Amino acid sequence: MDIRRVGVVGAGQMGNGIAHVFALAGYEVILHDISADSLSAAVATIDKNLERQVSRGKVAAEDKAAALARISTSLDIALLGPTDLIIEAATEKEDIKNKIFASLAPHLAPHTILTSNTSSISITRLASRTDRPERFMGFHFMNPVPVMQLVELIRGIATDGPTYDTLKGVVDRLGKTASSSEDFPAFIVNRILIPMINEAVYTLYEGVGSVQSIDTALKLGANHPMGPLELADFIGLDTCLAIMNVLYDGLADTKYRPCPLLTKYVEAGWLGRKTDRGFYDYRGEVPVPTR
C-alpha cells in the first residue's frame, strides 16, 4: 500500500516528534489534539528542533520549510479519517486509547491502517476493539523521535502480512531501523529497560546509593549515556510506573513489582522533566537530586 497522508493523534513529546520525522520524509501530516495550546506548542517545538538540525548541517533550510508546510493541525479527529495511516500517540492508558480508536471508527477510509505508539499495552487487545484488527499494528517510536533510530513493529494476532510489509517500508523511508517484536507485555526495549530503571529505584529506596551515585555508577561503570534515574525523569515516572504495572499484571511475576518509591513519586506528581521535579529538581539552573 502506498502511504501518502498520515494522521497523528496526540501532540505531546512523542506525537510532535513523529509528525516531525514523517513531514521531513515527505509525508503529508495532520496532527490532532484536544487542546489548541498543545497543537501550537507542538508546532513551535517542531520548528525549533528542525532549526537545530539545520544549524548542525543535517537538514537544509529549504527542507525545513517544506517539512513545516506539510504539517497541518486539527482539533477535529474526524479529519484524520481519510488518511492512509493513523498513529495514536496519546498517554499510556488503555481506556484513553480505546476511546480514541472508537471516535475514529465512523470516519475511517476502508484502506486506512491504524497503529498505536504504545510502549507496553497488548496490540491484540487494542486491535480487537476496532473494526480492522488485520490492519492494526504496534508502531513504537523511541524518544526523542528525531534522534533515535529504532522503531519497534509489533503484530497483533490478527495483523496481516501486507500491513506489516507496508509499515516496514514506511520505517525504511523514514531512514530508521525496524525491530520486530512479538506481542508480549512491554515488547523488547521496555521489557528490558524499564525493569532496570525499577531496580535502580529499588537501589535508591533501600539506601544502597544516592541518586547521584547510582547515575554516576551506571554512566561510568556500564558506559550508559544517561544514568537510570536521569533516564526515568526523561521518560516520565508515570510512564515508567504504567509499564511496570503492565509487566506485573501481564506476566504475574513478582520480579516486576513496581518499587514503592516510584509509586510515591508519581502520587506526589513528581513525574520528571515534564513537571520540573522527579529524581532531580529541574527548577534551577542546574538539576539537583531530590534524594
**Any idea which residues carry the catalytic annotation?**
119, 140, 152, 190
* CA distance readout (Å), 32 to 28, 148, 167: 13, 23, 21
Long-range contacts of residues 57-61, Cβ cutoff 8 Å, at least 24 apart: 59/24
What order of strands is seen across the sheet that includes strand 136-141?
Answer: 71-74, 28-32, 5-9, 85-88, 113-116, 136-141, 150-155, 177-181
Interstrand relation of 136-141 and 150-155 (parallel, antiparallel or unpaired) = antiparallel
Beta-carbon contacts of 254 under 8 Å, excluding residues fewer than 6 positions away, are none
